[in-house]
Amino acid sequence: MLKVKVMFFATLRDYVGSKAIEMEISSGTTIQALTDLLVVKYPRLEKVKDSMIAAINREYAADDQIIPEDAEIALFPPVSGG
Amino acid sequence: MDFPTIISLTESELDLGALLAQITIPTTGAAAIFTGMVRGKTSSNHPRETNFLDYEAYQPMAEKKMHQVAEEIREKWPTIEGIAIVQRIGRLYPGTPTTMIACTSAHRNNGVFEAARYGIDRLKEIVPVWKKEIGPDGEEWIVGHYHPRPGE
């Protein structure tokens, strides 16, 4: 099992109810698999799961990217700065 | 001579004049400054009034991506001298500048307008910052549309 930190921003933080959580995931878990696990844990994520954006260690990640040990994962909606 | 690059994600008030001075070097003869501010009344689309916006950022990644935007500008317009990319976060009221993208060069025809335009467009695509709009009828997160490619 790998330990990872998952951070949530904007709408996703509201749906999850916290800014960040620590999780243990099995080796080989992808972003897609992680989001599937999170939707089970936090059902309100269901409605944003198709539009959410993922970053691993502060870089945009692909859905099929495998999460490394001690990763800092961030999940958020499309950005709206400016 | 080193060309100045100012990247700032801040809760402090933006001082456009001071920022411009920081990206003006002896060879500079032109600057294009884009600034955006909180709009108190929106007439198009979905007409409404806005009391204030609450901005938040994924700070370390936002700063990294702001640096990336500056690097992209330098690759596309090598004649650009100074670059300032600034995003203010926190609670911001109508009329308040929230962002500034400024580019300087020796002459106005060296890409300053295009570079500043590119800078604000890219900031709105890849810099992880979000805003929640609070109005008389409640609050709502503003959500963008762009999905960056892996590594973008």
Q: How confident is the model at residue B45 (pLDDT cuts 50, 70, 90)?
A: confident
Chain A (16-75) residues lying within 8 Å, Cβ to Cβ, of chain B: 51, 53, 55, 58-62, 65, 74
For residues B45-56, average pLDDT: 94
Contact B143 A58 (CB under 8 A): no
pLDDT, residue B44, reads: 85
pLDDT at B140 over 70: yes
For chain A, which domains are there? Answer: 2-76 (3.10.20.30)
CATH of domain B5-142: 3.90.1170.40
Contact A58 B36 (CB under 8 A): no
pLDDT, residue B80, reads: 98
Residues paired with B52 in a beta bridge: B134
Give the DSSP per-residue string, B5-44. EEEEEESSPP-HHHHHHHT--TT--EEEEEEEE--SEE-S
Instruction: Check if B93 contacts A (Cβ < 8 Å).
Output: no
pLDDT at B144 over 80: yes
Q: Using CB atoms, which residue from B127, B132, B145 is nearest to A81?
A: B127
pLDDT, residue B24, reads: 98
pTM of the model: 0.96
One digit per residue, pLDDT tens: chain A, 82 residues? Answer: 999 999 999 999 999 999 999 999 999 999 999 999 999 999 999 999 999 999 999 999 999 999 999 999 999 999 999 9
Please give the residue of chain B at the shortest CA–CA distance from A65.
B150
Q: Alpha-carbon distance B100 to B109, whole Å?
A: 21
The Cα of A26 is separated from the nearest Cα of chain B by a number of Å equal to: 22
Instruction: Check if B46 contacts A (Cβ < 8 Å).
Output: no
Chains A, B: CB contacts within 8 A come to 88
Report CA-CA distances (Å) from A78 to A63, B90, B130.
15, 19, 8
pLDDT, residue B1, reads: 62
Chain segment B116-129, per-residue pLDDT in tens: 999 999 999 999 99
